[in-house]
Chains A and B, each alone.
Chain A
């Protein structure tokens, strides 16, 4: 049995809360970014590209590449690698520029 990152650093996290991702409830450990919450559930993609409709998720992990954009609480283009997950956050896969309502 391989160890986990949490075991390596002796993590004793505070109680998990839930966030919603595309209608699914996911457990979120306090302090994790939204991207980290998704990775912890083996979810690697939460955006589709504007031109090719291809799946994307976190790439640089430090807020530089903007690949990890998602719609969070109705607001598109949020860098999920920077944004801490908060109780009750509603995250949805962002399609294209995330502004379909503007019909541009």
Chain B
């Protein structure tokens, strides 16, 4: 089997650190072994699934793109940074500590293979599934690939952030809310000193809370919805007191730091030439149209922005897995009670089934592993999952972008960041050239054709083209793959 090969020297992270993959067991190259289960993604859902499966006697491979377990939610500093209290940047760190403790025990006892830095770019289905991985974060040669074989697969690939463009959003200093979180959690760095947090969704409160705790000034949290939607389902709220406590905890942190929450408002422009120096905030009507005469400027040196999360499911949808539309307008994998997708042998858990947060992801990961191992799922676990799913649907409905947001675009606002396609060109494709869906707009304008493959502009382009977001985005290669690795594949 080929081994990882890079032109760069080995990682400087100390191998004796308990967090490094070295200490968690050999970073195997999967060899010719056929696993009972391959779990893709070592975030909350994948970690819970893998350790549960190992405890139930399945031979399991936990495959992850990152160097350390935890996914995006439990991102934590590299060992070299010597963080004594990483839990200060996290909610629910104890749960993660327990999961990573179990992971360590199972990898140490060779009951589980934890494969780090494996970026799965496609899967082949069959009695025995084949998962093709490119190794390392960037630019390994033909030798830097691996194939993981397994009888069943659990997709726990999480989500990334949804973006809606606005004038100035490509300026340096404008970052995603999740990106600000990720850079802070892993690198202990901030994009600026005075950071406006804006967009929609519960991540904004969490991000703002982390940023102020880490020393940033947050002059405002700008949330497009009014939060009144939540009150429409009091029964669902009452059944999820922990989610309310979590929200209240962030609220208290923000109050203590004097952070103002502006509801029903949006950042409609970021100002600056080579970096952001201020933003304009305006009130929105119920359809998210800026209300004239309400604009006010807030000075800042960074903006963290995001509009909820998009499930990352292309590995499954490329194989034809059935999808469902979520109340916030994204697409998730459709699963049954036992977390089976429509493809025999493929399960999903966590955000891939619809964004719902870390504790739901853990419950789903554990449930899926039990089903795969042929064991019953305890009633309490089922009930917890149902309560949290109901809350997730309520949350998604509350933060669904209103149809009026494109009104804050200007003709020259770049919609596709990679290919630098302005709003005017997309509107021209729709109104002058007759494009009626995102794919046609892409072919006419190149919007969504660049490096990120439409992950940043996709939701916006779908909305502007009027075709609706019902379809899953098609990405035959889920990750960039060096041509040398494609050439190295055996013909099937």
**Bound CA span A63–B172, Å:** 17
* Main SS at interface, chain A: loop
Note all chain A residues with C-beta closer than 8 A to B214: 3-5, 8
Given A57-B172, A86-B9, A62-B189 contact (CB < 8 Å): no
Beta-carbon contacts of A68-98 to B below 8 Å, as 1s and 0s? 0100010101110111101100000000000
Asked if A11 and B77 sit within 8 Å, CB to CB, the answer is yes
Q: How many residues of A contact B (CB 8 A)?
A: 55
Note all chain A residues with C-beta closer than 8 A to B247: none
**Bound CA span A28–B161, Å:** 28
Asked if A32 and B9 sit within 8 Å, CB to CB, the answer is no
Asked if A60 and B176 sit within 8 Å, CB to CB, the answer is yes
Is there a chain B Cβ closer than 8 Å to A23's Cβ?
no
Asked if A13 and B81 sit within 8 Å, CB to CB, the answer is yes
Asked if A78 and B139 sit within 8 Å, CB to CB, the answer is yes
Asked if A12 and B84 sit within 8 Å, CB to CB, the answer is yes
Asked if A49 and B420 sit within 8 Å, CB to CB, the answer is yes
Note all chain A residues with C-beta closer than 8 A to B189: 5, 32, 36, 39-40
* Main SS at interface, chain B: loop
Which one of A30, A63, A69 contacts B81 once the chains associate, using CB atoms below 8 Å?
A30
Q: How many residues of B contact A (CB 8 A)?
A: 62
**Bound CA span A70–B211, Å:** 26
**Bound CA span A75–B456, Å:** 24
The segment from B10-18, B317-325, B394-402 that touches chain A is B10-18
Note all chain B residues with C-beta closer than 8 A to A50: 420
Beta-carbon contacts of B150-193 to A below 8 Å, as 1s and 0s? 00000000001100000000101111101111111011111100
The segment from B85-93, B329-337, B376-384 that touches chain A is B85-93
Asked if A35 and B183 sit within 8 Å, CB to CB, the answer is yes
Asked if B11 and A84 sit within 8 Å, CB to CB, the answer is yes
Q: Which residue of B lies closest to A38 (CB)?
A: B189
**Bound CA span A42–B242, Å:** 38
Note all chain A residues with C-beta closer than 8 A to B8: 73, 86
Note all chain A residues with C-beta closer than 8 A to B88: 8-10
Is there a chain A Cβ closer than 8 Å to B418's Cβ?
yes
Closest Cβ of chain B: how far from A58's Cβ, in Å? Answer: 6
Note all chain B residues with C-beta closer than 8 A to A60: 160-161, 175-176, 178-179, 182, 456
Beta-carbon contacts of A1-20 to B below 8 Å, as 1s and 0s? 01111111111111001000
Asked if A8 and B213 sit within 8 Å, CB to CB, the answer is yes
Note all chain B residues with C-beta closer than 8 A to A54: 170, 420
**Bound CA span A59–B417, Å:** 10
Asked if A59 and B174 sit within 8 Å, CB to CB, the answer is yes
Which one of B13, B138, B184 contacts A30 once the chains associate, using CB atoms below 8 Å?
B13
Asked if A84 and B138 sit within 8 Å, CB to CB, the answer is no
Asked if B85 and A36 sit within 8 Å, CB to CB, the answer is no
**Bound CA span A65–B182, Å:** 14
Q: Which residue of B lies closest to A82 (CB)?
A: B137
Is there a chain A Cβ closer than 8 Å to B274's Cβ?
yes
Asked if B450 and A61 sit within 8 Å, CB to CB, the answer is no
Is there a chain A Cβ closer than 8 Å to B452's Cβ?
yes
Closest Cβ of chain A: how far from B460's Cβ, in Å? Answer: 14
**Bound CA span A83–B161, Å:** 20
Asked if A58 and B84 sit within 8 Å, CB to CB, the answer is no
Note all chain A residues with C-beta closer than 8 A to B215: 2-5, 7-8
Asked if A84 and B78 sit within 8 Å, CB to CB, the answer is yes
Q: Which residue of A lies closest to B479 (CB)?
A: A63
Is there a chain A Cβ closer than 8 Å to B241's Cβ?
no
Is there a chain A Cβ closer than 8 Å to B292's Cβ?
no
Note all chain A residues with C-beta closer than 8 A to B451: 65-66, 69, 77
Asked if A84 and B77 sit within 8 Å, CB to CB, the answer is no
Given A2-B215, A65-B452, A75-B139, A13-B82 contact (CB < 8 Å): yes
Asked if A30 and B178 sit within 8 Å, CB to CB, the answer is no
Is there a chain A Cβ closer than 8 Å to B72's Cβ?
yes
Closest Cβ of chain B: how far from A52's Cβ, in Å? Answer: 6
Interface residues of B (CB under 8 A from A): 7-9, 11-14, 65, 67, 72, 77-86, 88-89, 137-139, 160-161, 170, 172-176, 178-184, 186-191, 213-217, 274-275, 417-420, 450-452, 455-456
Which 3 pairs across A and B sit closest by C-beta, in order of nearness? A31-B78, A36-B187, A61-B179
**Can you give 29 A-B contacts (C-beta < 8 A)?**
A3-B214, A3-B215, A6-B81, A10-B88, A11-B77, A13-B82, A14-B14, A30-B12, A31-B78, A32-B80, A32-B189, A35-B183, A39-B190, A44-B173, A49-B420, A55-B275, A56-B170, A56-B172, A58-B175, A59-B176, A59-B417, A63-B65, A64-B456, A65-B455, A69-B451, A82-B137, A84-B12, A84-B13, A86-B8
In addition to A32-B78, A59-B179, A84-B78, 9 A-B residue pairs with Cβ atoms within 8 Å of each other are A4-B215, A30-B12, A36-B183, A39-B190, A55-B172, A61-B175, A62-B178, A66-B450, A81-B179
